[in-house]
Amino acid sequence: MRRASAALLTAPLLLFLLVTFVAPIAAFLWRGVTDTEVAPVLPRTAAALSAWDGRALPDEAAFAALVEDLRAARARDRQAGGGSIARAAARLNADKPGFRGLLPMTARRVEAPFDGAARAVLITISEEWGEVETWGAIARAAGPLSSFHALTALDLRQDAAGAIRAAPEDQSVFRAVLLRSLWISLLVTAACLLLAWPIAWLIATTRGAAGILLLAAVMLPFWISLVVRTAAWMVLLQREGVVNAALAATGIVDAPLPLMMNRFAVVLAMVHILLPFMVLPLVAAFRALDPRLPRAAASLGAPPWRVFLRVTLPLCLPGIGAGCLLVFIQALGFYVTPALLGGPNDQMLAWFVGFYATRSVNWGLAAALSILLLVAVGLCVALYGRLAGFRRLGAA
Amino acid sequence: MARAACWVAGVLVAVFLLAPIFAIVPLSFSAGSFLFYPLPGLSLRWYRDFFGSDFWLPAVWNSLGIGLASAALATLLGTPAAFGLWRMKGRFRAVAMGIVLAPMVVPVIVVAVALLLAFGPIGLVATHAGMVIAHAALGAPFVVVTVLASLEAFDPVQLRAASACGAGPLRAFFRVCLPQIAPGVAAGAVFAFATSLDEVVVALFIAGPAQRTLPRQMFAGLNDTISLTTTAAAAMLVLLSVVLLAVVGWLQGRKKAGGG
């Protein structure tokens, strides 16, 4: 009875989150492992290619199926006013550049009936229909399940015969983006740990007003909106900003320094924004530390560095780990700060998710990149769970 | 010696944390129109500009309205859920806790893009309802965590005592438990409100022109040349954050006084 009523109390929120949070995210991520744009437009071609081995050009049946599909799709598009051919072409273009023009053009040219083999006619329309990889692109996009987006997110391509190899140099960006995101997050975490240590130690060990003031110095920025803090850094760092004006007034520099739109500004602002998330767990760890233990070690003759390495550090390690992971997890997902303070080469995974979802309307790739981001975050959360224990997280 | 070095480093870090905020707030009172010191004089012209603007003023009402509605929804759903989770044990609790806390760790860009995709077909994109629902989902975990923490100090024997005195579970919750955890519930509501007030990524993706919130407008203002009206908006958000921080501090003080 008690258990039932407890479940009943939790049900409304769980239901709400399932509908407004879990289901939308699951539906979005599903797009990263499926393909739905091409199969409805080219159903016969997809069926004809399902048994194709991809070593040589497909047989006449596939060519004929494509002609039939394109005629049907063009008639449908004209009637309903929908651009289904254009949508399919956009998806195929992501795999093999050139498709955006090829597919509508071919659809126009095969509309009128013709004599002879479809194969010969299609290859006359465009030599590209005589290439194995053109058909490979259709076969890869036939769905319903597809590894195309996931492979793209890892800078990999699959050819028609099924072999996986590296993507062409000029299209390989995502591994670099992933590494950049991890590197920036790591840098931010390390800087936060370094800066948080002294102030956390002081907060934990100082009694009276000074300790409270230091804690207030951490809590105040913690509460202030992320956009405001990013704005503050922009005002400080921009060309005609506070720092450059001060430097020019004191005569240290002649020309304004480029302090913004670079990696330095992104890392600086991210450290500023995430520092409280490192300080607070460290304060908790330092407060839980029994001060008699380092003192005992010192009285037994250990030099200060040894006391630190052998006593203080191991005792605080869970708190340090928790703080580092908390900062790292949040840094990985940063969007606003790099977008405003960074240049094109400082954008992280989150920016590319947003870019492919809205500006380039490539939901599959946006979803695959999100999966990458979530896997990285999930690994960190699992590590956090082992370090801090989820029971403590819940009670915190 | 080591302690002195620690103090120097600690104070420097405190300065690093506070300096950007203290640098931006006075600029909003400038009589001039550039973003550096010294100020040519003091004036309130940027605040007049802010309150007379079609760009900023609707955003204030949107931020407050969406913030209050989403905090109310998050608190209404989160408080009973926290109570339920507190009484729960075992695997079901772990799973439920995982779902409830997920909005805290999932990168908000993933939430924003997923909601854009899901809300589109059902007509919730560019509506106030859509924004309130999204922000309530993001704020609910803060309510649950805060209420759970205040329940730690609540002795469940009191509930048995209440039921022995003839109170049903609902009555026991409302008359015995809720008054004692009320400061925690209120703090949770403030956290949820602050979450909504700070949130910009979801607003960027699913808000329409009629739902633009203050942070969303600041983001737009920062993408252009930064005007001093933007610093006035920033200063006002800082003030709002200080007020919220003070409210939470006061509530936590009450909790300590009442929870003993």
Q: CATH no. for residue B102?
A: 1.10.3720.10
**Confidence class for position A394, pLDDT limits 50, 70, 90:** very low
- Structural domain count of chain B: 2
Q: Is residue B167 less than 8 Å (CB to CB) from chain A?
A: no
What's B226's DSSP letter?
Answer: P
Nearest residue of chain A to residue B129 (CA atoms): A20
Q: Which CATH number fits domain A174-395: 3.30.500.10, 1.10.260.40, 3.30.70.141, 1.10.3720.10?
A: 1.10.3720.10
Lowest mean pLDDT among A6-10, A31-35, A69-73, A144-148: A6-10
Same domain, B68 and B2: no
Task: Give the angle A232-A331-A354 at the CA atoms, nearest 5°.
Answer: 85
Structure tokens at A174: 């995502």
Lowest mean pLDDT among A88-102, A158-172, A218-232: A158-172
What average pLDDT is seen over chain A? 89
Task: List chain A domain ranges.
Answer: 1-30, 43-152, 174-395
Using the beta-carbon criterion (under 8 Å), do B36 and A242 form an inter-chain contact?
Answer: yes
In-domain check, residue B50: no
**Confidence class for position B255, pLDDT limits 50, 70, 90:** low
Per-residue model confidence as pLDDT tens digits over B197-236: 999 999 999 999 999 999 999 999 888 888 889 999 999 9
Same domain, B8 and B73: no
pLDDT of residue A79: 87
CA distance A98 to chain B (A): 28
Interface test with B, best of A225, A238, A325, A372 (most B CBs within 10 A): A225
d(CA A205, CA A196): 14
Same domain, B110 and B34: no
Ranges A203-207, A301-305, B26-30, B115-119, most confident:
B115-119
Lowest mean pLDDT among A80-84, A247-251, B124-128: A80-84
Encoded amino acid at B135, one letter: H
Same domain, B94 and B222: yes
Using the beta-carbon criterion (under 8 Å), do A228 and B111 form an inter-chain contact?
Answer: no
- pLDDT higher than threshold 70 for residue A161: yes
pLDDT of residue A55: 85
Same domain, B24 and B86: no
Task: Give the rounded distance of the alpha carbon of A381 from its chain centre.
Answer: 16
Q: Which of B127, B138, B147 is nearest to B195 (CA)?
A: B138
Same domain, B105 and B3: no
In-domain check, residue B94: yes
Same domain, B35 and B158: no
Using the beta-carbon criterion (under 8 Å), do A224 and B238 form an inter-chain contact?
Answer: yes
The DSSP line for B148-166 is HHHHTTS-THHHHHHHHTT
Using the beta-carbon criterion (under 8 Å), do A363 and B117 form an inter-chain contact?
Answer: yes
Q: Which of B24, B109, B150 is nearest to A332 (CA)?
A: B109
pLDDT of residue A2: 64
- How many contiguous H segments (helices) and E segments (strands) does chain B have? 12, 0
pLDDT of residue A360: 78
Per-residue model confidence as pLDDT tens digits over B75-128: 999 999 998 998 888 888 889 999 999 999 999 999 999 999 999 999 999 999
Lowest mean pLDDT among A254-263, B4-13, B17-26, B116-125: A254-263
Question: What phi and psi, each to the nearest 5 degrees, are found at residue A96?
Answer: -130, 105
What's B199's DSSP letter?
Answer: -
pLDDT of residue B257: 60
- List CB contacts (< 8 A) between A202 and chain B: 6-7, 10
- Give me the domain span that covers residue B82: 57-259
- pLDDT higher than threshold 80 for residue A241: yes
What percent of chain A is modeled with pLDDT above 90? 50
Mean pLDDT value of segment A162-183: 88
- List CB contacts (< 8 A) between B18 and chain A: 217, 220-221
Q: Is residue B95 less than 8 Å (CB to CB) from chain A?
A: no
Task: Compare A18 and B252 and report the one with higher pLDDT.
Answer: A18
Count Cα atoms within 13 angstroms, Cβ side, for A98: 11
Angle, to 10 degrees, between the axis of helix B108-119 and the axis of helix A363-388?
Answer: 140
In-domain check, residue B184: yes
pLDDT of residue B260: 36
Same domain, B68 and B189: yes
Same domain, B184 and B137: yes
Same domain, B32 and B150: no
Same domain, B100 and B183: yes
Lowest mean pLDDT among A51-55, A140-144, A388-392, B4-8: A388-392
Q: Which residues pair with A34 in a beta bridge?
A: A145
Per-residue model confidence as pLDDT tens digits over A287-305: 888 888 888 888 898 888 8
CA distance A116 to chain B (A): 45
Same domain, B229 and B126: yes
What percent of chain A is modeled with pLDDT above 70? 97
Q: Which of A348, A377, A314 is nearest to A177 (CA)?
A: A348
Tell the residue number behind the tokens 């004089």, with chain if given. Answer: B41
pLDDT of residue A388: 66
Q: Is residue B239 less than 8 Å (CB to CB) from chain A?
A: no
d(CA B253, CA A292): 30
Using the beta-carbon criterion (under 8 Å), do A13 and B219 form an inter-chain contact?
Answer: no
- pLDDT higher than threshold 70 for residue B16: yes
Using the beta-carbon criterion (under 8 Å), do B106 and A25 form an inter-chain contact?
Answer: yes
Using the beta-carbon criterion (under 8 Å), do A22 and B102 form an inter-chain contact?
Answer: yes
Q: Is A164 helix (H, G, I), strand (E, B) or coil?
A: strand
